[in-house]
Structure 1
Amino acid sequence: MIGTTTRRLIGAASLALMGTAGAALAYPDGPVTYIIPFNAGGESDVTARYQQARFRELTGHDMIVQYLPGAGGAQAWAGLNGISGDGQTIMGTNLPHIVLQPMLQDPGYTTEVITNVYMFHFTPDALMVANDSPFQTVQDVIDAANAMPGGVTAGGSATNSANHIANQVFMNETGVETTYIPYTGTGATETALVGGEVDMLWGYTTVAVRQGDATRVLAVATEERHPLFPDSPTFRELGIEMVGGAYRGIGVPASTPEEIRTQLSDIIGQINQDPSFREQMENDGYALIDVPYAEMDAFMAERIEAYTAIAQQLQQ
């Protein structure tokens, strides 16, 4: 459950920026605090920084990014509904995290109490190694894992996350056993890989773009080869049925009025359509998606069904 210190931090952020306008007024009517439930440096942080300038251009108000890492994001999400629902404090949300965490443990919240207003991008899974790794191909990984069951370590961001799912699906599909090592965020996993703490990394195409020549992408979990990594095969090309990754969006407290939910959704949708924003995101390896508030229930129902099938394996 959320601790006293965390509750005070979230409450202070909300109260410091609380507006006086009701839902009938234009939104926002002051600076908006955007809480990222992870450490700085990961995809959630990077995209929030890209959104900041466009948010100000559209609304005339600042978007102030704050970090509240802990428990793979659960520490922040458990406190979301304790924040004032005036729209002046919003929070990043991640899939599959907000589905799997409540399904497999008691993180202090349930999926149903998280009010998502927009899902704006998708990052495909990528199996990566450091550039000096002896693993040149996915088959090299499989051979090493067969020779040393559990001896090959795979880094990833948090447990019950997209990276955790990717590792489990990989084991299911190949029959090998690897040891998954969770980190507090994507930025931490990158340091772990290039620093030699893990043998390989379940990251994303975005991580591969940032790391450049420091890493090597063995395969990507997309339908077709990623345009930024034309020499890296898809898992399907290798006979491994893996297509997946992480979705990121924005949530608000449950007490937020419908009008503010819709207005915030519209603002994020406008940012997603900005040509310069799209180019910046795509060049970094992101795949933009557009799931507005009005379509969120159907989207979440589909995602919950997809994640349920593998959830129990993650507890073994």
Structure 2
Amino acid sequence: MKRRTLLLAAAFGAVAGISQAQDFPSGSVDYIIPFGPGGESDITARFQQPHFSELYGEELVISYQPGGGGAVGWSQLNGMAGDGSKIMGINLPHIIVKPHQGDVGFQTEDITAVYMFHYTPDAIVVHADSPYQSLDDLIADAKANPNAVTFSGSGKGTANHLAQVQFDALAGIDTTYVSFQGTGASVTALLGQQVKAAWGYTTVGAAQGDQVRMLAVAMEERHPAFPDVPTFRELGYDMVSGAYRGIAVPNSASEEVRQQVSDAIAKINADPAFQKKMIDGGFALLDVGYGADMDAFMAEKSEGYLTAAREAGVIE
């Protein structure tokens, strides 16, 4: 009788687990952004929010946990509930580079990434009045005047900084990178013509319009919103890069919950209305889900970012 009772309990437990998995989301989901409001992580979360409610009939509640360039939030992720009620935004290269810069409370392998849904492609951006009409113009100046071509960018060890290091190596030039606190400050310096160019993103082109000109974008194909701007690859430089964003769950989440969160975000990503918002904003969509694809994606990006970070001198 005791054995039969145990078997029945196990069976009911399994059924309950299946039911819980099928019910996702079983209530509102807390979506934690490990930065302050107003940045691109917040903007894209706000884009996702109404589509989540429409698709699943539950609220996606956005909150912020800023500090340490995302490290405060990521260091606390694995202490949160793993039942699917808590998800957190993640950013590359941040979660790859930061643990190599010191004790930030987490390691890259601690982060359970379940879906990467977009990136902001790196782009060389100049003022509308710049004498650089093309990427060749900028490169010619940089070769004739080493270190005289100045770029603004959003911080050290960021996607902007690593892009500058990577492109200098590809083009055989030496430029000067000037670090600012965030994209906003970097763009302000460009608009004020304090620098000759900026390592920014396609989102800068979308936001600033006729005030700026993009010389090239680090994408596999041209951005739909900027069909006249060539890719670096078209111009002979093998460079596809940017700031990548996605979703992680606490490492206590079951395989079922991990897959369900991945599938939920993928469904939003496939919504034509969501896609239009993202493209109009200068973002580029990704579709990297949980499992082998994510493992391969993270391995590839880790190798590239860590190599560039060492060359930039931001890690040993």
Which bracket does the TM-score occupy, shorter chain normalised?
Answer: 0.7 to 0.9
Aligned partner (choices 257, 262, 278) of residue 259 of structure 2? 262
Q: 47, 53, 56: which one pairs with 1:56?
A: 53
Shift of 1:169: 0.9
Unaligned runs of 5+ in 1: 1-20
Structure 2: which amino acid aligns with 1:298? A
The 3 A distance-change label for structure 1 pair 189 and 22 is: farther
In the TM superposition, residue 124 of structure 1 has moved relative to its aligned partner by: 1.9
Contact 2:153 2:199 in 1 (8 A): yes
Which of the numbers 178, 186, 190 marks the counterpart of 2:175? 178
**Equivalent of residue 161 in structure 2, options 127, 140, 164:** 164
Q: Corresponding residue for 1:16?
A: none
Whether 1:37 aligns to 2:46 is: no
**Superposed CA RMSD:** 2.7
Distance 1:182 1:76 in 2: 24
- Residue aligned with 1:38, SS: coil
Q: 1:305 aligns to what?
A: 303
**Matched-pair contact (CA < 8 Å) for 1:104–1:312:** no
Q: Match of 1:208?
A: 205
Matches of 1:148 and 1:69 in 2, distance apart?
A: 40
Shift of 1:128: 0.4
Q: Deviations over 1:77-98 (max 9, x none)?
A: 2222233334333211112221
Identity %: 55
Residue identity in the other structure for 1:136: Q
C-alpha distance 236-260 of structure 1, shift in aligned 2 (>3 A): closer
Out of 120, 123, 141, the position equivalent to 2:120 is 123
Q: Which amino acid aligns with 2:139?
A: I
Whole-Å Cα distance in 2 between the matches of residues 199 and 188 of structure 1? Answer: 15
Alpha-carbon distance change, 289 to 238 in structure 1, aligned in 2, over 3 angstroms: closer
- Corresponding letter in the other structure for 1:157: S
Partner of 1:110: 107
Aligned position for 1:291: 288
Please give the secondary structure, in 1, of the residue aligned with 2:239. coil
Alignment of 1:178-197 (within 5 A): 178-197=175-194
- Measure, in 1, the Cα distance between the counterparts of 2:54 and 2:68: 34
- Contact kept, 8 Å, 1:34 with 1:65, in 2: the verdict is yes
Structure 2 distance, partners of 1:23, 1:197, is 59
What is the CA distance between 1:197 and its match in structure 2? 4.8
Deviations 1:17-54 (A, max 9, x none): xxxx9885323333322222334333322211110001
Q: Deviations over 1:95-126 (max 9, x none)?
A: 22211222344332111001111111133211
Task: Look at both structures and tell me which one has the larger radius of gyration over its CA atoms.
Answer: 2
Residues 38 and 147 (structure 1 numbering): CA distance in 2 closer, same or farther, change over 3 Å? farther
- 1:67 matched to 2:64: yes
Find the residue that maps to 1:109 and give its secondary structure. Answer: coil
Asked whether the 8 Å contact 1:39–1:185 carries over to 2, the reply is: no
Is residue 208–residue 217 contact of structure 1 (8 Å, CA) maintained in 2?
A: yes
Using the size of structure 2 for normalisation, the TM-score is 0.82
- Give the structure 2 partner of residue 278 of structure 1: 275
The count of residues paired between Structure 1 and Structure 2 equals 296
Give the conservation status (yes or no) of the 8 Å contact 2:223–2:284.
Answer: no
Distance 1:243 1:55 in 2: 30
Which residue of 2 is the match for residue 14 of structure 1?
Answer: none
Letter of the structure 2 residue corresponding to residue 45 of structure 1:
D
- Measure the CA separation in 2 of the matches of 1:81 and 1:182: 32
Tell me the equivalent position of 1:235: 232
| Structure 1 range deviating more: 77-86 or 88-97 | 77-86
Question: In the alignment, is the contact (CA less than 8 A) between 1:236 and 1:242 conserved in 2?
Answer: yes
**Distance across 1 between alignment mates of 2:181 and 2:81:** 27
CA distance in 2 between counterparts of 1:152 and 1:85 reads: 49
Q: Retained in 2: the 8 A contact 1:221–1:244?
A: yes
How many angstroms does 1:184 deviate by?
Answer: 4.3
Structure 2 residue runs of 5 or longer lacking an equivalent are 1-15
Amino acid at match of 2:60: M
Question: What residue number does 2:11 align with?
Answer: none
TM-score of the pair, normalised by structure 1: 0.82
The SS at the match of 1:132 is coil
Q: Of the candidates 75, 96, 101, which is equivalent to residue 98 of structure 2? A: 101
